[in-house]
């Protein structure tokens, strides 16, 4: 999908797009200071994109991943890091949900939503990558 | 699993960066393979063996369970 963008620009482009979407959300939200927040998050996105671009020029695993030129070991490294990230998200969501229930808070449902999404994501991963039945 | 990548590379007078470029992987991956911290995929193991004109079972010794992921 992104093959028309040079590898080194792919991740920065995603960050810029995400930043633009988030800035636009502040515009849609409106309010007295929407333009300030939209500009602030736009600047943060551009700064992060430039940082990623700079990182991708380096001779390192992080640089190869940032520049979308990772080899098999670096892709495996990224997959493992994402797995750790997902596990952290699940554990944090479970702790948050447990605390919210215990204190009768009204903000329990975002934790449940994150827990549900990460759980479904895990099951989808199993379904997608499990061995297919042979003959 | 011990391998002979470092030995063969130095015999040819190649740097890790040169071998990495020839194999189409990063220098860090060559370092990891040489140190036994990373076991390459089957295609990469065959590519390494072909590059050094050595059978894959001579390049990688499965009987030596030294390290690897």
ipTM: 0.87
Residue B49: the pLDDT is: 97
Q: Give the pLDDT confidence of A97-131 residue by residue, as tens digits.
A: 999 999 999 999 999 999 999 999 999 999 999 98
The phi and psi torsions of B2 (rounded to 5 degrees) equal -80, 150
What local confidence, expressed as pLDDT, does residue B67 receive? 47
pLDDT in tens, A31-72: 889 999 999 999 999 999 999 999 998 889 999 999 999 999
This prediction's pTM? 0.85
Kindly state whether B25 is in contact with chain A, defined as any CB-CB distance less than 8 angstroms.
Answer: yes
A-B interface: how many C-beta pairs under 8 angstroms?
Answer: 27
A-chain residues within 8 Å CB-CB of B44? 72
Q: How far apart are CA B47 and CA A58, in angstroms?
A: 26
If pLDDT is split at 50, 70 and 90, which confidence band does A2 have? low
User: Based on the number of CB atoms within 10 Å of its own CB, is A73 exposed (0-12), middle (13-18) or buried (19 or more)?
Assistant: buried
User: Is a pLDDT exceeding 60 seen at residue B68?
Assistant: no
């Amino acid at each position: 999908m992104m093959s028309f963008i040079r590898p080194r620009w792919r991740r920065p482009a995603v960050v810029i797009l995400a930043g633009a979407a988030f800035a636009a959300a502040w515009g849609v939200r409106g309010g007295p200071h929407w333009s300030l927040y939209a500009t602030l998050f736009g600047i943060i996105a551009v700064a992060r994109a430039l940082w990623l671009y700079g990182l991708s020029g380096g001779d390192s695993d992080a640089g190869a991943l940032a520049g979308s030129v990772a080899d098999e070991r670096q892709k495996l490294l990224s997959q493992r890091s994402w797995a750790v990230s997902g596990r952290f998200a699940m554990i944090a969501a479970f702790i948050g949900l447990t605390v919210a229930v215990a204190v009768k808070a009204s903000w329990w449902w975002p934790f449940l939503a994150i827990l549900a999404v990460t759980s479904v994501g895990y099951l989808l991963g199993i379904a997608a990558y499990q061995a297919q039945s042979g003959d | 699993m011990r391998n002979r990548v470092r030995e063969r590379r130095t015999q040819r007078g190649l740097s890790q960066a040169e071998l990495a470029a020839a194999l189409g992987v990063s220098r860090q991956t060559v370092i990891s393979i040489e140190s036994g911290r990373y076991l390459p995929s089957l295609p990469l193991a065959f590519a390494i063996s072909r590059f050094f004109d050595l059978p894959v079972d001579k390049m990688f010794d499965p009987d030596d369970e030294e390290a690897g992921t």
